[in-house]
Amino acid sequence: MKVAVVGATGLVGRNMLRVLSERKFPVTELIPVASEKSSGSKIEFEGKEYTVCTPQQAIEKKPAIALFSAGSGVSKEWAPVFAKVGCRVIDNSACWRMDPTKKLVIPEINGDVLEQDDYIIANPNCSTIQMLVAIADLHKRFQIKRIVVSTYQCITGTGKKAVDQMSAEREGKESPVQAYPYRIDLNLLPHIDIFLENGYTKEEMKMVNETHKIMRDESIRVSPTTVRVPVLGGHAESINLEFAKPFGMEEIFATLRGTAGVVVQDAVALENGAQPSAIGSMENLPYPMPLFTKDRDEVFVGRIRRDPSVENGINLWCVADNLRKGAATNAVQIAELLVKRGLV
């Protein structure tokens, strides 16, 4: 099983290598791929040293699977070339997500859509992945009518330039690179990606459009606000859901606890899913935080409570490692599914 990782020297690419190793994916030969500038450098994987090559050199090695995380431009140019030689491409960029001829996949939710002729498969946006993993089973049971989501997205979602900018700002230095139009340390930016004509950002509309495609239900109304926060790793989301069907809170807790890939951490939830009337102590309360989700593949959910302003609504708080389940892990899980289905 020859596996190429395109963008192997980047933040997500390095996490893809870690996840492939941790999940014991059957890699017989790793093909690390990067730009001409990085070509010839060395990468270690499972005790062996590999030489980074160019996309063309990788194609000549005939990989069975290629995990792409090098940006939309690279994906647009090279994914079809890899696919043409029979390589299954799993692309982490936004390039193919809304292409009607390409599948957009979260294995726990819609892995069943994968077919023999799928050679370019899109990995969803990080903020979409964690939200839908958390709420997909709730939708099956109670039918979501409306989602209002506000995200608190860390700087690693932007990449190394953002990490360098915040590090310089925290040291009181002038950053040699500017990933953001304003200071990010000690600040919040309600602005992720470019603004569109409707006043929303591209990141916000990704959550709308990708939700409809993955859930296969365009009747779900989605109202997003995405915010960049000065946190090094992990995205958080405040999610408000309005359902078509009535529910008991014990049913909500039971559904979330039974959802694959979800961990419930709720300070006021008893083991049977009921809620006590008061909290005796404010110390050591369990609720999801980026501080404790680093290098984890699960989506953590807490602060689960009924919304008193609508008839069938709840609020919840959702946190995940954006470089893991939000990117690398989901891509590797798609690859695992391809192997399981005998498609590679």
Task: List residues with catalytic annotation.
Answer: 126, 235
Cβ-Cβ contacts under 8 Å for 8 (sequence gap 6 or more): 14, 16, 17, 32, 33, 34, 43, 52
Angstrom distance (rounded) from CA 93 to CA 123: 7
Burial class (CB in 10 A: 0-12, 13-18, 19+), 204: buried
What six digits make up the tokens of 339? 């192997």
Picking from 190, 192, 201, 171, the residue whose alpha carbon sits closest to that of residue 322 is 192
Q: Classify residue 96 by its DSSP letter.
A: S
> DSSP E strands: which ranges in the chain?
2-6, 29-33, 42-45, 48-51, 65-68, 88-91, 103-104, 120-122, 144-153, 221-228, 235-243, 262-264, 299-306, 313-320
